[in-house]
Chain A
């Protein structure tokens, strides 16, 4: 079984336990240093002697290549990803130690913790960023310096390092969120990743939509961060600590106080923005439509998962073991939010002609499904000894489903955005005419896109079906738990089912609505004639093709053979619920 290992920051073995982050940090340094290596010299003051110091000046032919940052970031992220997958697979047979980082000299002050849960989330973040890095090598393609003919190519060469540095800082911030055992550390990670993503959204500065989307995303994002931070400070005012386990302890002895509840509500706003839950989702469609598609994919997958991690920490770890009422205090609030989010997202997606906006709203709807699952976790209070194992098992099942959904979402949501990213090479994607006739232009690409759409809609045997099925099954399982004397159950069709069952029903109905707009993409691709100017085969690009291929393998593979991933998610869920 797992054992807890305590280490101090930067002590012996620390870098081994956090190998992925170390690799990311090294990659970041390399990214700054390597492209600057050149024949730079340093004049000794007062003399004419110039000493070479290999920095700046005329670059070497190897280090001056504009494609170098892209390779560094892809390799860095790939190495980190493989290290994490290795960790996960060993976690799978329960032989992996959990690592806890505490303050120097005081092991009650927790900073970071590496558990199966955080490893899974790290792998998710880095995997998503790896796909983005691969695709952005094509999206912002570098050109060998001699062949630069246009202003656009020059721009792209100049911003290679910026782009990939931002991707790596984003990765570092996200992994910090996954590892954080302290809300302050979590917030720092959240902001690091958040600011990187604000810039990435606005990165497409040639397009006025890019700047507009980036600006909106930044404004709303910083406002919601501010609100969340205020909630955090109120929580600190109340408990005197921001450490997760200490807060959980404080919450379990909560009395008739208003302060922590206000803090909880304010923090929900902050994280609600990150997962694009209604009513904090208004910036999302503009941001997704304005950003380059790979970055929009990043927002829809990794960034959303990061928000979910924050919600897990606050809702499941801190506030769940509270009182003896049986269910979490936020249960009704979150359930209503989930219902509104999924319905709103789906109805808005129905009317979106722009495929990127459609995917943005579908991402809002998926946030609703995730929050419905989260609501179901809160139905039974795990801290109470009076409940039998059934409630605990049900909560674990639904959390497993949620984690599985987050992971496979990276495959098909990102995949869909990457396909649109390929089309962006030919010009902006503003409406679904850009997709029309794709089947005649590039049949394999069209079939791949259709598979992603079907997976988003939840058609078997794709992973989107399995994840939706797992979530619905989890909610039904939670609702069917029979706990004597629980006042929360209501009679549904003469059966004692908890009201969260209605969230499963709503999810099913929403899935049915969503088929309409996902299918429309398929119809447009296979039925309509190609738009004017878009009638040649889509130019094939190596990196994006590899990334889309990986997404396709994930979409089909995890659907047909989802067992290993379910096991990994299950370990992660068990680790989070403790």
Chain B
């Protein structure tokens, strides 16, 4: 049975669209009464997805051994004709690159809902979150460039509405900037994809080729062709064209990642987005950029990766350092966390630039670890805003005394993000430093220092919110004379789940790292002829 199309993509998308249609047909006065029903239905669906993907991970569903999947080799692969004249197929499959992201999406969807369970968002909010999850799933399981692009753009629409409807004061500006910025980069990427499509040799396009154009959008076939060319010592499409197309595709992915200097949409979008939107945006949506890099340009154009190794390193390093320095100057808690994402995404680029299997594994693990840690950071920010009606660092002080839960969660999240050993973030950073040493030697001092800045801004913000001050501090406006609230029950549950996952993958990184490691070994063998 095609579990991917039916359960992972079909179920959330169909259910959410049905719920949205139902809400649209309903008289406006009835809509608020359905909120809890909507929340329950979407939560149950997210739980189903989580259970299914976890069963897949454990191998009890589909009997998959994730450690033996090689490069351009997929499990649960299904292909159906779609637009035959263009060679477009509905082609889905999973491998060790996409599966961690799929599991992450399925994991974060229920957690996001738990974390924002008591926020009063109205009925449309919950189906939109589910739709968001469905489109993200679609991006990660697509093995057809056309389908990939469709899901890639579709993710913008629910997020656009999430920001526009439930965002902060500047949500209108942020939502438009988010949409236009990423859409513009995507159309450049699209032109690159179309050019790749037409430069293929029609003779090698395989069965899926369109009868109209003689070519196919099938990524698996395309990767196979490129790989065969490289295996015979040739260069797929020639060296110059590889570079041009690599740049066009990377532009789309770098904006999504985002890497400095293309990051300016991110702080706006994050600061304005509602907590649930931020959690999914930081947790999964940013990873689309890194995932896309591995899936398309790196797999098709390994020679261009070598050509642009230094440029990628530069982008990564600038993102890492610039993000960290900007964080130091932030007074807005959520903006600081947003810039820390830019900084951590730089680590992924450095992992790619190192051109070591272990660096690739570090990048993959960073995607995964950041996907668990950053939602926790945004959940903390959301709770802070929810209870203290402010985002300013220092608006509430001495939390350790009066709000132990929120203080503990914040401290845990911050520590995980700055790379405390035994937590998930540390594994990725450590692997990266190893790879970086192997590739660039003493230049390792660069990222090393940048990670020290990371520690600085996190510790400094903790000092100003958790430890300094106490009973003598003035509470923020609106809370005068009232008891100072702490996390509510649902927020506590969400924080606990995220913390447990962070510890789990920190102490037993091999749960995810093994499959990533095995995968990167085969990537290297296929693309660069071994390490």
Contact = CB atoms under 8 A, between A and B. Distances in A.
B165 to A, nearest CB: 7
B176 A516 contact: yes
Contacts of A566: 83, 85-86, 212
B180 A516 contact: yes
Interface in B207-229: 212-214
B426 to A, nearest CB: 39
B212 A523 contact: no
- Residue from the set A458, A527, A570 with the largest chain B CB neighbour count within 10 Å: A527
A515 interface: yes
A477 B165 contact: no
A562 interface: yes
A444 B24 contact: yes
Interface in A433-479: 440, 443-444, 447, 454, 457-461, 465-466, 469-470, 472-473, 476-477
A493 interface: yes
A520 B194 contact: no
B157 A477 contact: no
Interface string A538-578: 00000000000000000000000111001100100000000
A112 to B, nearest CB: 29
A444 B184 CA distance: 28
A397 B198 CA distance: 12
Contact of A447 (B24, B171, B214, B238): B24
Interface size class of A (residues with CB under 8 A): 35 or more
A376 to B, nearest CB: 13
A519 B212 contact: no
A520 B160 CA distance: 12
A508 interface: yes
A122 B179 CA distance: 38
B361 to A, nearest CB: 33
Given A480-B199, A566-B86, 14 more contacts: A454-B157, A465-B153, A472-B190, A476-B195, A493-B244, A495-B238, A495-B240, A508-B188, A511-B187, A512-B188, A519-B176, A520-B176, A566-B212, A570-B212
Interface of A: 393, 397, 400, 440, 443-444, 447, 454, 457-461, 465-466, 469-470, 472-473, 476-477, 480, 493-495, 504-505, 508-509, 511-512, 515-516, 519-520, 522-523, 526-527, 561-563, 566-567, 570
B241 interface: yes
A549 B52 CA distance: 37
Nearest to A478: B198
Nearest to A505: B191
A466 B85 CA distance: 12
Interface string B166-207: 000001100110011001100110110011011100000000
A351 to B, nearest CB: 16
Given A443-B24, A469-B194, A515-B179, A477 B213 contact: yes
Given A444-B24, A519-B176, A527-B172, A459 B213 contact: no
A493 B240 contact: yes
Given A444-B24, A515-B180, A515-B183, A570 B85 contact: yes
Contacts of A563: 83-85
Contacts of A393: 214
B294 interface: no
Contacts of B187: 458, 508-509, 511-512
B195 A512 contact: no
Given A526-B164, A563-B83, A460 B212 contact: no
Contact of B157 (A459, A469, A505, A523): A459
Top 9 nearest A-B pairs by Cβ distance?
A494-B240, A512-B184, A460-B150, A493-B244, A444-B24, A566-B85, A508-B187, A461-B150, A460-B153
